[in-house]
Amino acid sequence: MAIWFSRSRNIVFSLRHNLNLSGILIKRDYSPRPAFTNSQLSSKSVCLDSFTSLRHESTAVEKQLDLVQQSDEEDPQELNFPGGKVGYTSEMKFIPESSSLRVPCYRVLDEDGRIISNSDYIPVSEKLAVRMYEHMATLQVMDHIFYEAQRQGRISFFITAVGEEAINIASAAALSPDDVVLPQYREPGVLLWRGFTLQEFANQCFGNKADRGKGRQMPVHYGSNRHNFFTVSSPIATQLPQAAGVGYSLKMEKKNACAVTFIGDGGTSEGDFHAGLNFAAVMEAPVVFICRNNGWAISTHISEQFRSDGIVVKGQAYGIRSIRVDGNDALAVYSAVRSAREMAVKEQRPVLIEAMTYRVGHHSTSDDSTKYRAADEIQYWKMSRNPVNRFRKWVEDNGWWSEEDESKIRSNARKQILQAIQAAEKWDKPPLTELFSDVYDVKPKNLEEQELGLKELVEKQPQDYPPGFQI
């Protein structure tokens, strides 16, 4: 390599000397470019067509907008590197760690559920709006009852989506059933929207015979191939590189669909977050990354997670279109996700959405958030910034919802969920053999030995296992 580089350098030097060629230095036109107005730099400006990505071409940088302004004193010349052609300057100037102005948050509804004047959003019909609200209310009731069931010792673990119902339901409503969802663990509303029944939720949490996961997963680790919903996996952020692969697969198969994956703000500290975004950007995979920035990663505040302006700016670092949206505004979430989904599918590119919200509930039933958060802070977000109440006001103001409707949906949801729990408790647990199936086509000898050893242990100490436990 060194010999090749030396010879190449000599050839270039000879050509420049004898033929008076500029060689590496190339004259470029750096005349002033049009400025952008505030209206152009709205939520739509993030989606400007001039942001194009041409993989494998070192000149792709020429196709992008200059987000770092060029100074008038810079020499109008470029240096050609394998990584692209870039202008140079004689001034030593470091890029600032962050902009003095934070990226604005896109919203449509104000706190009183009224549409902000001149809002740019996708209209929602009465039928869709009512269905969205019904699912948000059902999700609230489901969270409350299953949480209480865990506190009663009827299930071992549970995670609620309290405070994040708008992200769950509005994002689900904006997607196509063919889009493949790779969740974190706080998105049961997406599965609820897609038709996963309350009985199926109960069966999974109780790990009975009717559980599609055959009782192998801990509660809230839902999954359904029928609904294009990958099974929840406890390790943080592992779903993001997988989403990049799923998106690329959909692209290769020319499907009219994209991959959609969710993550919390704490998950962005994992290497898989960066790997997932970079893979998707480089491979131009149709993936919508949705980050729920709820301020807390269990007990770790976002101030201890990163020094950047949240998550939205991280997308730009990887060459990904990004937008920050009010996650407690169902109309804003719906519009942003639907637009992002359209970009991902039609333009074959990834998009990052940072949804600003607040986790009202504890991280899980294993957590007591009052140990690290003020009770009045939690109460403020629960009452004054409640996404369900906010959307309800808008639906009611349109004449699409009434107190009678409210009472009916919550009463019916409570009744159905309690019935589902009672039925789930009566089902037998899956037989012990299910622990050793569905992995190998032909069970290896060591696994057979483990299965035999476990059976012998159960037969020897039956008192340690629940009545009716099947070997």
Other beta carbons less than 10 A from residue 63's beta carbon: 12
Report residue 59 CA to chain centroid gap: 31
Q: Which residue has the tokens 């990663």?
A: 297
pLDDT given at position 172? 98
| Spatial separation of the C-alpha atoms in residues 302 and 266, rounded to whole Å | 7
Torsions phi, psi for 83 (to 5 deg) = -85, 0
For 287-298, how does the pLDDT look when each residue is reduced to its tens digit (9 = 90+)?
999 999 999 999
Q: What is the pTM of this model?
A: 0.83
**Per-residue tens of pLDDT for the chain, all 471 residues:** 444 444 444 444 444 444 444 433 333 343 333 333 334 334 433 333 333 333 333 333 334 444 444 444 444 588 889 988 998 888 999 988 888 899 999 999 999 999 999 999 999 999 999 999 999 999 999 999 999 999 999 999 999 999 999 999 999 999 999 999 999 999 999 999 999 999 999 999 999 999 999 999 999 999 999 999 999 999 999 999 999 999 999 999 999 999 999 999 999 999 999 999 999 999 999 999 999 999 999 999 999 999 999 999 999 999 999 999 999 999 999 999 999 999 999 999 999 999 999 999 999 999 999 999 999 999 999 999 999 999 999 999 999 999 999 999 999 999 999 999 999 999 998 988 888 999 899 999 999 999 999 999 988 998 888 776 777
Residues with Cβ within 8 Å of 168's Cβ and at least 6 positions away in sequence, in order, are: 136, 139, 161, 186, 187, 188, 189, 190, 192, 193
Other beta carbons less than 10 A from residue 138's beta carbon: 23
For 172-189, how does the pLDDT look when each residue is reduced to its tens digit (9 = 90+)?
999 999 999 999 999 999
Q: Which amino acid is at 468?
A: G
Q: Indicate which residues carry an active-site annotation.
A: 148, 234, 363-364
Determine contact, residues 113/330, Cβ cutoff 8 Å.
no
pLDDT given at position 432? 85
Query: What's the helix, strand, coil split of the chain in %, to 5?
Result: 45, 10, 45
